[in-house]
Every structure is written in C-alpha cells, then in structure tokens.
Structure 1
Amino acid sequence: MARVSARQQRVELHTDLSGTGEWLLCDALLADPARFGPWHKRLAEWLHHEYGQGPGRTAAGYVMTWYLRVPAYAAALLLHHERRVPSLRPADLAFRLGGQRPDPDGIALLGADFHCLPSDPGAALPEATVVPDERALAAVLRAGYAAHATRFVAAYTTVTRLGRRTLWAAATDALDTALWWAGLECGDEHGGVADAALVLGTRHPPFTSASTLRPAPEGGWRRSRESCCFSYLLPGRPECGGCPRLRAKE
C-alpha cells in the first residue's frame, strides 16, 4: 500500500484511520445522507472565501465529484500498480478531508479481500479471489464500483436536487478519469489510458458512456466530460474544458 501511495501526488492510501485529519466512513454517509450536510457547508464556506460566493449547486456538484472519486481512485490505483481490485463496498472504504480545501486527500481501504490474477504473489492468501485474466479483473472492478455508485446515487438524490442522470454521468467521469490519472501521475499516461480502455472499452450501463479519452493535438490525452461540476456558477469561472455545456452550445 505504501508503495502505491508513494507513486501518487493526489491522495494517500491507508489501511486504517490513523494519523491526523477528519476521516469519513463511506457506509455511514450513505446510510444517513444528512451527514453530507456538514461537508456541503464547509465546502460552501471555502468557495465563498475563494470566490466571494458559495453557490449551493456548485457545492453539491463538487461533493458529488469528490465522493465518487474515492472508490474510483482506490480501484484505479490498485489495478494500475498491482493488478488487484480491492473491496469497494462502502463498509470497506473511508476518506480524509484536506485541511484547507475540503476534498479527499487520503483514502483508507479497510477490507482485506481483493481480486487478483493467477500470477499475483498473494494469490494463495485466504483473502484473495483469483480471476483468469485482465478482462475478468476489469469486470470485477466495474461491478464493484457500480454497486458503490448505486448506493451513492440513491442517497445523494435525497439531499440534493441533482438527478440520477447527472449522478451517473459523474460516476462515469470519476471512473474514467481515475483510471487515466493512476497512470499519468506516475509517468505512465499510456498505461492509464489502456486501463480506461480495458474497464470502459464500451458503454456498460448504468454508466453513461465508454471511455472518452482521446489523443490531444498538442500531445498527451484529453477527455470529454459526461457531467458538469457547476464551476461556471462561480464568479469569473467559465465552463471546464470538455464540459457537456460547451458541446451543447456548439
């Protein structure tokens, strides 16, 4: 776990809730969606401090994006670096909010179970479930993430005005982006793109699209977003690159 975390800049991976910071249990949040309230409030205050306004829809959009990134990025990191898929059940995941901007800067994998390939050094461990090949591993990742996202969608629609289509579009974006970033941030962007193609090579409902990653004219890769994070509601902020609002205008 330390080896994987050391290769990334965006988030630390843990196997417990030790250290400083505020840890939030995914299962507790989804079981009682009112618990999202303090996170929304803290984020709105941060937005107001940074931009002079803290629109509720923008706060809800940021929390949507940041929460879904937790199971997506945990899965992407272990797939890219270890060819493993950890348990993505809400009971087996927690995250820590950053000290200034309240986005997740730490993820805790609390479950011991994982899926792996036959060649994995830990394949004989009792907590390992061996699958025959990488396609099967990708299917396990997709199913585990979709199950977690299903609970999130059901919970989040009770405390925000964001619809199911928006939330599933955000879940698709989070997974596609996390797979890309897991490679990009350790100097293996093409590997991350290949992982996204492996997991999201075609559209798998309820995800709203296949991977949208494509070569960028200036080099590297870019992707088109399926969802909007509502940053454009902030003073002086245009739509993000690849935002579906830009495509609608075109």
Structure 2
Amino acid sequence: MTVPARVSQQNPRALTPLAESIARLDVGSEIRFGTPSRDWTICSDLLAEPSRFDLWRKDLAEWLVEQYGESDDRATAGYIMGWYLHQPGYLAGLLFHTARRVPTLKPRDMAFRIARGGRPHPDGICVLSDEFACLPDDPASNHPAATVVADEAALAALLRVRYAAHAAQFVASFGQVVRFGRRTLWAAATDMLEYGPWAAGRICGDENAGVTEAALILPEKLAPFVSASTLHFTDEGWKRKRNSCCFHYVLPGAEPCTACPRTCS
C-alpha cells in the first residue's frame, strides 16, 4: 500500500507551489512539507554533531545482532552512509521527475524520521523550505520562492550542484566518525544521486524516463562525483554498476546486494 505525501501547513488552502508538488506525490514512503515534530531529525542538526551518528549506528548494530547474530562496524557505517545520502537524492529525483522542480536540498531545509521498533532506517522525509527551482513554463515560475533556469539541462545541473553541496557537508561530518575515505564517501554520494531519479521513474511507472533523467543529471564524470550514470539495459532490464558498498555481505549468512562492487564482476 502506498502512503500519500502529507502536507503540514497552517493554512492548507494556501499551499506554496513546492508544497503542492509534494502533496501530489503518491509513493511508498512519507514525504511531507512543513515543520517537523520532535520525532524528526533536521539534517543540519545531525551534521553539526557527528557523534550522533555513533548513536544511530549503535541502534543499528543492535538490530543487526538480532537479525544476523552479530554486527560489524563496516556494515553499520555502510548502511547509514547509504540511508542518509538516499534522502536528498531521492527527494530531488522525485520532484524533478514529477514536477520538474528542485528544492534547495540544504541540510537546514530537510529533515527525516528514523523508524521505531525495528530496523532504524529513515522512513520519512520532511521539506522545510518553500524555495524551489523550475523551468520558464512552470505555472509558478513567477512565485517569490521560485528560481527560474533556462531548460531541463540547466535544472538537472542545478540539482546536481545542490545535492553536491549537501553531500559535501555529510562527507565532512560522517568522515569524522568512520574509517571510510573521501573516495568511498563520494562513491556512495554518486550512487544515490543516480538512484534517486531511477527510483522515481520506477515508482511512478516510467522507468525509462527515470533512466534518462539520471543520465541528464550525471552525463559524465563530474567532480566531486566519481562516475557518470552507469545505468544500462540488459536481458534482465535496467541495471547499474555501483561505485560503493554497504558491506551487507560481511554479515553472517547475508547475501551480497545486487551489483555489489566487491563481489560482482
């Protein structure tokens, strides 16, 4: 069952354009607009206190022990690296795919909620700012919160820049509490930037469009990202060559992820 996005504003009859875009989403996780409750974590607050990642990893380690009999520092770091970067990548990919709009993606303008009572993964995204970028033909292009760019290529480039700025703050913060190097962290950031539009296309029923959008956002290897989009068509459908590893395979009895770069040729 899909969960429609929720919108939290004082006057629901006067939604901002970005809030309207979010309200129209109908995806498998909660995405909302407005002020989050205490159950939500503002990204900038987490990044400002890297030690909070250790608490998150502790909760994850306890869940991994329940599931696999033991945990591993590489797996807790790999899981959370991917989980966190998925939030801005997926949000940007969804809004680009469904509305050709790009939110600010600044850590202070995003929050997420960690699931309780089981696997401690993010199960919701909250957008805190009504600022957005759009195309000239957007019906809200004259809105005070809008930044208009020339065309889809320019909008995709702006999405990439905004995501990179958020990812850079994550790399600086998370890198203080894990043993991963910058290359590993940026490889994960690359994967999640590619995955966002691809996942949006699949969830919304047009995977080919999602693949095209991923290529538009990552047309070539552009620093600080480590590769262009790797999506390619095979006999089994669209596949990609991942650049990063979540280290799930090191857990007892765990099967490697699809396209795991450490175990797949």
TM above 0.5: yes
The alpha carbon displacement at 1:236 in A equals 1.1
Q: Separation in 1 of the partners of 2:24 and 2:67?
A: 34
The alpha carbon displacement at 1:238 in A equals 3.3
Q: Separation in 2 of the partners of 1:47 and 1:79?
A: 34
The equivalent residue for 2:92 is 75
Q: Separation in 2 of the partners of 1:105 and 1:151?
A: 22
Secondary structure of the corresponding residue to residue 159 of structure 2: helix
The equivalent residue for 2:187 is 169
1:140 aligned to 2:158?
A: yes
The equivalent residue for 1:86 is 103
Secondary structure of the corresponding residue to residue 24 of structure 2: helix
Q: Separation in 2 of the partners of 1:77 and 1:31?
A: 27
Equivalent pairs: percent with the same residue?
A: 53
Q: Separation in 2 of the partners of 1:206 and 1:85?
A: 20
The equivalent residue for 1:203 is 221
Q: Separation in 2 of the partners of 1:191 and 1:51?
A: 38
Q: Separation in 1 of the partners of 2:193 and 2:234?
A: 20
Consecutive unaligned residues in structure 1, runs of 5 or more = none
Work out whether residues 204 and 210 of structure 1, in 8 Å CA contact, stay in contact via their aligned partners in 2.
Answer: yes
TM-score normalised by L of structure 2: 0.89
Counterpart among 56, 59, 72 of residue 55 in structure 1: 72
The equivalent residue for 2:207 is 189
The equivalent residue for 2:10 is none
The alpha carbon displacement at 1:3 in A equals 1.0
Work out whether residues 36 and 111 of structure 2, in 8 Å CA contact, stay in contact via their aligned partners in 1.
Answer: no
TM-score normalised by L of structure 1: 0.94
The alpha carbon displacement at 1:193 in A equals 0.4
Q: Separation in 2 of the partners of 1:225 and 1:246?
A: 11
Letter in 2 for 1:202: E
Counterpart among 139, 150, 156 of residue 168 in structure 2: 150
Letter in 1 for 2:97: H
Counterpart among 70, 78, 82 of residue 65 in structure 1: 82
Counterpart among 123, 128, 140 of residue 110 in structure 1: 128
Letter in 1 for 2:62: E
Q: Separation in 1 of the partners of 2:35 and 2:53?
A: 19
